[in-house]
Chain A
Amino acid sequence: MIEVKEQKQTYATRFERIEAGVVEGGSASLLAIRKAAFSRFTELGFPTTKHEEWQYTNIAPIAEAEFERMETDTASGSIDDIAPFNFGACAATLVFMNGKFAPHLSAVGNLHEGIRARSLADALSSDDPLITRHLARHAKFDEHAFTALNTAMMEDGAFVYIPPGVVVEQPIHLIYLTSSAQPGSYHPRNLFVLGSSSQATLVESYAGLEGTRYFSNPVTEIVTEAGAVLDHYKIVRESDEAFHVSTLQLHQHQGSNASSTTVSMNGRLVRNDIRTLLDGDGCDCTLNGVQVIDGTQHVDNHLVVDHAKPNCNSREFFKNVLNGKSRGVFSGRIMVREDAQKTDAKQTNQSLLLSEDAQVDSKPQLEILADDVKCTHGATIGQLDEDAVFYLQSRGLDFETARSLLVYAFAREVIDEVRIDGLRNQLDELLIARLPQGQLLRERL
C-alpha cells in the first residue's frame, strides 16, 4: 500500500509540473481535461488482479518500479537505429525517440494539400480546432487508470488529419523507439482524424533497444468520419525488459470501414486495450491480431466492440502462440445496444500452447440487447495436430522443423492479411526469427 502511495506521489509531482506549464500543456480546456483525468487516476490507482479487467494481468511490477519521466535530448538517435523498423516507401515517417518527436529522423514527403501529419506537441501549441474537438474526447478514462494517466501526462505523439475525399496511397508510419539507458516512462498520445470518404493507412511501431528498461503507455484515438476507409497496424517490438500498456480507441461514423491489426512480438509485459465504437449505420470493422511469445513474456489483448447503431458488421480474429513460460490473455467483448438491429458480429480466438509451462486465459463475451442480430464467438485452445506433424516428418522434415512449419502456418494466417507488402515481409521475417529452427525453415521455404 505504501509503495502505491509513493508511486502516486511521483506522478503527482510530475503532474504539478504540467500544471505549472513547465511542460507545454496546450489550451485551458485541455488542462481541465488533464486535471479531471489526474484526479480520476488518483481515485482509481493502479489496478490489481482483483479488478475484473485485470484479473489475469498483474501490473504490480509497473507500480513498484516507480518509473520517472524519461528525460531525453531531441537530437538523440541515428538513422541506423531506426533502419530495422522501416519497411519501404511511406507518405510520412514520424519518429519519436524516448517519447519525444525527433525531426531529424522523421521524413514528411510531399503530402496532399490539407493533410496534416505533425507532432502533437507542435499541434498543441498551435491551437488546432481539430485538437480541441477530438483530443481526449474518444478514449474514456473514467474506468481505465492507464488511459487516465496518459490523458493527464501526455506530452507528445502524432497528430494526423486527412481531409475529406483524399486518398493517401502510401502508409503513414510512426516509430516510437526507446534508446535511453536510464529507466523511465512516457505517455505517447496519437490522434488520427480521417475526414469523410478519405482513405489512409497508418502503422505504429513500438520498439526499444536491447537492454533498455521502461514503461510505455500509449493511447491512440482514431476517428473515421462517414465513408472513410482506415487500414491500421500496430507492431509491438519493445525491449525484453519493457512494459507496454496501450489503448486504441476507434470511433467510427456512418458507413466507415476500419481494419486494425495488432502484432505483439517483444516486450516483458504487453497489454493492448483495443476498443471500437460503431457509431453510425452500416460500419464495418475488422480487428486482427497475433502474438508469438516465449520466455516469461506476458501479452494481454482486451477488445471491446460496441455496436451502438444498426447494420454494422464486426470481425475479430486473434491468435496466440505461446512457448516457454509465457502467458497469453484474451478478452473480447461484443456489445450490441438496444437499437443496433441487424448487427453481424463474429469473434474468433485461437491459442496454441507449445510448452508445458505456457498458459492461456480467454474471456470471449457477448452482451446483447437487440433481437435481430447474428453474433457468434468461438475460442479454441490446443496443441499441434500430431497427424500433421507426422505427415511432415514422413516427408523428410525433422520433428522440430515440422513443428515450426505448422506454427508458422498458424500465425501466418493473420500476417497474410497485412495489405502493405513491405510490412508483411518484415513481419514474416520477425515471425520466422522467433520460431525454433527458424533459420532452417527460412532455407526450406
Chain B
Amino acid sequence: MTKPVQPDAPTPPKGNGGRANSSTETIDQWASQEYKYGFVTDIEADSAPPGLSEDTIRLISAKKGEPEWLLDWRLKAYRHWLTMTEPTWPKLHYPPIDYQQIVYYSAPKQNTDGPKSLDEVDPKLLETYKKLGIPLAEQAALAGVAVDAVFDSVSVATTYKAKLSQLGIIFCSFSDAVKEHPELVRKYLGSVVPYSDNYFATLNSAVFTDGSFVFIPKGVRCPMELSTYFRINAQSTGQFERTLIVAEEGAHVSYLEGCTAPMRDENQLHAAVVELVALDDATIKYSTIQNWYPGDENGVGGIYNFVTKRGKCQGRSSRISWTQVETGSSITWKYPSCILIGDNSVGEFYSVALTNMCQQADTGTKMIHIGKNTSSTVISKGISAGRGQNTYRGGVKINKGADNARNFTQCDSMLLGDQCGAHTFPYIEVKNNTARMEHEATTSKIGEDQMFYCNQRGINTEDAVSMIVNGFCKEVFKELPMEFAVEAQKLLEVSLEGSVG
C-alpha cells in the first residue's frame, strides 16, 4: 500500500510550507473525485409502469408465478404500510420520496427458458460484470466463489450450484427458492423481520422482487464463501431485495454481499431486507461492501440506501457476525442487528463507514440480549470528509433474564476537513444486574504530529493519510474474508486517492 519512495521519484509536497498547501489541495481533489464505477448498461428492461398499488403487487407476484400465500403476505404488508408514516428520527436530510414515481418491477429481457450456461447469458451483462471485476466466469473457478449475480431484479446466472447441492446446501435466487423450497421460505420468511417491522421493511415485504436464499443443513460447513453482487441498473428502478439465510444446527456459512452502481442523476431508493436465522451451534458471517453511487459533490443523485438487516441467534451457542464497509450511497440508513435468544449465543458487529462530499450515513447496530451468558461486540469506525455527516446509532439492550450478559462497544470517529460532522448516539438499557457492559467512543482528526512523522520519514502526505486511515480501520478489515479484505483496502485507497486530512 505504501510504496517506498525512490530518490528520483517526484515528491508532491512543494518545499517546506508545502504540507499545509497540499493538504487543502488534496482534500479538494478528493472532494471533486468522480465516481469510478459510473456507467449505464443499455439493456432493454421489461418493466412495470411506475406507481404502487395492490395491482402493482399482484403484477409482481404474477410475473414471478408466486403461490397464493406469498401474495397474501405481500398484500398484508402493503395494507399495513399504508397506515405507517416515514420515520423522521434519523439524522438525515433528503427531499420527500414520491413512492408513486418508482418502478417496482424491472427484469432484463431474456430467453423465456432462461440461460442454461454462461454462454447463453446476454454478453452485455457479462461485460458489465467484467467492468466491475466480478469473478463470474473463469475467475469464479480461480477464486472459488459462487456468485448469484442479481442484475436488477431477476437473477441471471448461478454458479457452483451443483457443487453446493451435493452437500445439501441451497444457494439460489429468492424466486427459485419460492418455487423449489416453498416450505422453507414459508417457515422462515418474516420470522426475523416481520412484515410490520418498520416503514421500509414493510414496503420491501410488499414489493420485493428478488434476492438470495441460503440454506445450510445440519452439521454442514459451507466449503466456500457465498457471494452475491447486487447491482442497480435500469433507470428509476428501486431495488427491493430480500435475502434469507438459514443455518441449521452446527452449520457454518460465510456470505458476502458487494455493490457498485452506475452514475445517474435521479435518486434511487433501495430498501432491502436481510434475515438471518442461526440454530444451535450455527455460525453465520455476513460481510458487506457497499459502494453505490454517492451523488455528485453537491449531493445531487445518489442512492438512498434504507436497509433492514437482522439476525436471530435462535439456538444455543449460535453466532452471527456482521461486517460492513460502507463507502457509497448518498444516504445510508442501516442497522444490522442481532437478537441473542439462545444461551451462550454471540453477536458481533464490525463497521467502517466513510462519508464524503454530501453523503449522509446513519448506521449502527442493535444487540438484544435475551438468553443467558450471551455476549456481543460492537466495533464501529466512522470517517467523515468533505461535507459528509456520519452518525453511529446503536442500541444495547440487556433483558431481565439475560444473566451474565456481556457487551463491549467501541465507536471511533475520524474527521477529515472542517465541514463534516461525526455523531454518536448509543442507547444502553440494562435490566439485569449480572450484566457487564462497556461503551467507549472517541472523535479525533489525524494528528499533525502523526503527519509530520510520516512526512519526515519520506512518506508523502497522501500515502500517509491512506496508511493512517487504513490503520484506523484495521480492526474491522481483519474480520473480512480474504477476498473482501483486499477489495476493502483498495476501495478505501481509491476513495483516499489525492486526499489528506
B-contacting residues of A (Cβ < 8 Å)? 52, 56, 338, 341, 351, 353-356, 358-383
Q: Are B425 and A381 in contact (CB under 8 A)?
A: no
Nearest B residue to A354 via CB reads: B433
Q: Known interface pairs A365-B425, A367-B421, A368-B422. Does A380 touch B437 (Cβ–Cβ under 8 Å)?
A: yes
Q: Are A362 and B439 in contact (CB under 8 A)?
A: yes
Mark each residue of chain B from 411 to 423: 1 if its CB lies under 8 Å from any CB of chain A, else 0.
0010111111111
Q: Are A367 and B423 in contact (CB under 8 A)?
A: yes
**A377 touches which of B89, B421, B434, B441 (Cβ 8 Å):** B441
**B430 touches which of A52, A361, A377 (Cβ 8 Å):** A361
Contacts of A373 in B (CB 8 A): 415, 443-445
Show 22 A/B contacts (Cβ-Cβ < 8 Å), sorted by A: A52-B89, A353-B432, A355-B433, A358-B433, A359-B430, A361-B429, A363-B428, A364-B439, A365-B426, A366-B443, A367-B424, A368-B415, A368-B422, A370-B415, A370-B418, A372-B418, A373-B445, A376-B441, A378-B438, A378-B441, A380-B438, A381-B436
Q: Are A369 and B435 in contact (CB under 8 A)?
A: no
Q: Are A366 and B422 in contact (CB under 8 A)?
A: yes
A305 to B229, CA, bound (A): 44
Q: Are A371 and B418 in contact (CB under 8 A)?
A: yes
Q: Are B438 and A363 in contact (CB under 8 A)?
A: no
The answer to the question of B431 belonging to the interface, with a C-beta cut-off of 8 Å to chain A, is: yes
A288 to B445, CA, bound (A): 28
Contacts of A52 in B (CB 8 A): 89
**A381 touches which of B89, B413, B435 (Cβ 8 Å):** B435
The answer to the question of B427 belonging to the interface, with a C-beta cut-off of 8 Å to chain A, is: yes
**A356 touches which of B426, B430, B433 (Cβ 8 Å):** B433
Q: Known interface pairs A52-B89, A371-B417. Does A364 touch B441 (Cβ–Cβ under 8 Å)?
A: yes
In chain B, positions 235-279 with a C-beta closer than 8 Å to chain A are none
Name the residue among B413, B417, B424, B438 with the largest chain A CB count within 10 angstroms.
B424
A291 CB, min distance to chain B CBs, angstroms: 16
**A366 touches which of B89, B424, B432, B438 (Cβ 8 Å):** B424
Q: Are A368 and B439 in contact (CB under 8 A)?
A: no
Contacts of A341 in B (CB 8 A): 418
**A378 touches which of B425, B429, B440 (Cβ 8 Å):** B440
Nearest B residue to A52 via CB reads: B89
Q: Are A351 and B430 in contact (CB under 8 A)?
A: yes
A377 to B435, CA, bound (A): 20
A-contacting residues of B (Cβ < 8 Å)? 89, 413, 415-445
Contacts of A368 in B (CB 8 A): 413, 415, 421-423, 443
A82 to B423, CA, bound (A): 46
A362 to B437, CA, bound (A): 11
Name the residue among A361, A362, A373, A381 with the largest chain B CB count within 10 angstroms.
A381
Given A362-B439, A367-B423, list of 19 further CB < 8 A pairs? A52-B89, A56-B429, A351-B430, A353-B433, A364-B424, A365-B423, A365-B424, A366-B423, A367-B424, A369-B420, A370-B418, A371-B416, A371-B418, A373-B415, A374-B443, A375-B443, A376-B442, A379-B439, A381-B430
B164 CB, min distance to chain A CBs, angstroms: 44
A354 to B430, CA, bound (A): 12
Q: Are A372 and B445 in contact (CB under 8 A)?
A: yes
Contacts of A360 in B (CB 8 A): 428-430
A244 to B75, CA, bound (A): 49
A374 CB, min distance to chain B CBs, angstroms: 6
Contacts of B432 in A (CB 8 A): 353, 356
Q: Are B436 and A377 in contact (CB under 8 A)?
A: no
A364 CB, min distance to chain B CBs, angstroms: 6
B389 CB, min distance to chain A CBs, angstroms: 9
A30 to B21, CA, bound (A): 53
